[in-house]
Amino acid sequence: MAVVLVNWALATLAEVKEYLGITDTTNDDLLSRLINSASSFVEKETDRRLVDTAYDKDTVSDKENTWFNGDGSGKQFLRQYPVNSVSAVEVSGATISAASATDYYGSTGYALYFRKGLLYYEAGWSAGIQNVRVTYNAGYAPGTPEREELRELLCSLVAYTWNHRKKMGFKMERLGNYQYSRSDLREGWQQKTISRYRRKRSG
């Protein structure tokens, strides 16, 4: 059975093969494993899900990203950002609607600050444990400048390992189990890119 790319893969198999100049399918499974491993490494280093992803407050596996503690203030930072859309918000079981188009300060409902992943509600998010629950979509969509930059990063990580596999003493079967680490960031721009996308706040 062919290796399937993880949902958070930062590049497709076709993109990596084009980057490497590979046209045959002999090593597709191996390259897919390297893509998965490198994507997981970048996600771990940045502490974020970078690809655009839907998060549902009613899906148990999404609780970490959709259930938040209200603290009585007007600010609620979502865990994943930038936010592309919000489809449902509730606090202590009550539905909160989006503010009107002319209300930028959240006095009639919540106001969304997309890039920050911030929901502002002037009335305040009632204090409670995991009582603020949000269904939303967040991350960088294909075709955006950020996603293109992350694709380039991913391709460069896979390319380094692929092109240096003999020097690194890897046989194909070992390379298939390769796990990326910070020592694989051979270029300054790779380190700067990861640093720029690293989570700057808790939420």
Q: Please give the pLDDT value at position 82.
A: 97
Domain shared by 61 and 129, yes or no:
yes
Is residue 202 included in any domain, yes or no?
no
**7 within some domain:** no
One-letter identity of residue 154: L
The answer as to whether 166 is a domain residue is yes
Let me know if residue 125 belongs to a domain.
yes
Position 176 scores a pLDDT of: 76
**pLDDT above 70: percentage of residues in the chain:** 95
What pLDDT sits at residue 165?
A: 80
Q: Which of 121, 138, 155 is the last residue of a domain?
A: 138
Mark whether 85 and 36 lie in a shared domain. Answer: no
pLDDT of residue 104: 66
Query: Domain check: are 126 and 150 in the same one?
Result: no
Contacts of 108 (CB under 8 A, 6+ apart): 99, 100
Residues 141-175 have pLDDT tens digits of 999 999 999 999 999 999 999 988 877 767 666 78
Q: What is the pLDDT at residue 177?
A: 82
Query: Distance between CA 86 and CA 119 in Å, rounded?
Result: 10
* Model pLDDT, residue 106: 66
- The pLDDT assigned to 166 comes to 72
The count of domains in the chain is 2
Q: Which pLDDT does position 186 carry in this prediction?
A: 85
**pLDDT of the residue at 201:** 63
Q: What is the pLDDT of residue 108?
A: 81
Residues of the domain holding 111: 54-138
CA–CA distances in Å: residue 28 to residues 22, 78, 87, 138, 141 = 10, 36, 38, 29, 24
Q: How far is residue 23's CA from residue 158's CA, in Å, rounded to a whole number?
A: 16
> Final residue of a domain: which of 138, 167, 189?
138
Q: Does the residue 3 lie in any domain?
A: no
Q: Which of 138, 164, 182 is the last residue of a domain?
A: 138
Q: Do 189 and 149 fall into the same domain? A: yes
Residues of the chain falling short of pLDDT 50: 203
